Amino acid sequence: MNFLRRQLPLLITFAMGVVFACQYYVPHPVSELLLTTVTKWLQIIGGFALVLGITSLFHLHAGKIRRKEPGWGYSGVLYASMVGTILVGLGYSFSFQQWILGKETIDGVRTMFGWIYTFMMVPLQGTMFAILAFFIASAAYRSFRARSREAAVLLVAAVIVMLGRVPLGEYLVPISGDATQWIMNVLNASVRRAILIGISLGAIALSIKIIFGIERAYLGGGRE
């Protein structure tokens, strides 16, 4: 049992890690074929993993409904929406006399599934993203204070960029556009690059540890 839970996964990780690290340096079509094949495996595993996720989702919400937990009605809505969309998206349409199979339009005519996509999913997702603008304003008002000299510098930079990114700002303060370009291209890009260097080294170190089995916590449990 321990072999299946520990040694075998570590062995697979080591073998695949070394092979695919080397793959980067091998231009031969065989190496490309290997990569393509493994990416296909990943797609298949990803498909099965979704079943795992959906099972968890159903299980969790079924429990909530059964126990009549506070807000169990939302779980009911989730069930209804999910089952309804699956039926409409994959089921047989009598008006089109064919199976829908995820098509949003058939011969230019919108299906019921297409209707759900266009008139429910698009506006709902758009709304969620649009809330960001409101939250940015509220977060800026609540937290963007010149508590220190560094915070003051950030504040000034933010105001310049906000001015420089809109026509009204460029109209009122003509230099703000160029100043924004400079801040974004020079200060922002160089600082991000520095952060990226740190992140990349961290990622390489973590990858090395995982490939060589030094870091095992992701398998569940501590080191043995």
Partner 1 sequence: MSGRKFVDWLGLILVVSAVWCPPAYADELSAPREVRVFDTPSDAGGGLSVVWAPAGYDGPTVEYQVLLREKSDPSSAMKVMGAFPSDTHYVRNSRLPWWTRPAPQTFHLYEVKSSKEVEVKNGVMYEVAVAARRTGEHVESGAVEAVPAPNWVNWNQMNNLVLVMLFGSLVFASIRTAKRREIFLRRIPGLDAVDEAIGRATELGKPILYLTGAGDMSEPSTIAAAVILGRVAKRVAAYETDLLVPHRDPIVMAVCQEITKQSYLEAGKPDVFKEDSNFFITTDQFSYTAAVDGIMLRRKPAANFFMGSYFAESLLLTETGASTGAIQIAGTDSDHQLPFFVTTCDYTLIGEELYAASAYLSREPIQVGTLRGQDLGKAFILGVLALGTVLATIGVLFSTDMPAIVLDLFRDLK
Partner 2 sequence: MTFAERMLRIDRRIIFLLIGLCTLLPLLYPVGLAIKVSPEVRSVYDKIESLPAGSVFLLSMDFDPASKPELYPQAIALLHHAFRKNLRVIAMTLWLPGTGMAAEVISQVADGMGKVSGRDYVFLGWSPGGSSVVINMGQDLYKAFPSEYFRHEPTKDLAVLKGVRNLRDVSYVVSLAAGTTGIETWYVFGKDKYKFELGGGCTGVIAPGLYPLLRSGQINGLIGGLRGAAEYEVLTGLKGQALAGMDAQSATHFAIIVLVILCNTFFLFIQRSRKQADQR
Q: Which residues bind partner 1 (CB under 8 A)?
A: 21, 24-30, 32, 45-46, 49-54, 56-57, 59-60, 63, 70-71, 74, 124-125, 128-129, 131-132, 135-136, 138-140, 142-144, 192, 195-199, 201-210, 214-215, 217-223
Q: Please report the sign of the dihedral spanned by the C-alpha atoms of residue 75, residue 81, residue 86, residue 87.
A: positive
User: Between 79 and 144, whose beta carbon lies closer to partner 2?
Assistant: 144
The residue written with tokens 């809330």 in the block is: 131
Helix residue ranges, H only, the chain: 2, 8-23, 29-67, 72-90, 112-116, 122-143, 149-164, 167-172, 175-182, 189-211
Residues within window 45-84 making contact with partner 2, judged by CB under 8 A: 46-47
Give which of 191, 94, 24, 112 is closest to 102, Cα–Cα. 112
Q: Which residues bind partner 2 (CB under 8 A)?
A: 32-33, 35-36, 39-40, 42-43, 46-47, 104-105, 114, 117-118, 121-123, 125-126, 128-130, 132-134, 136-138, 140-142, 144-147, 155, 158-159, 162-163, 165-171, 177, 181, 184-185, 188-189, 192-193, 196
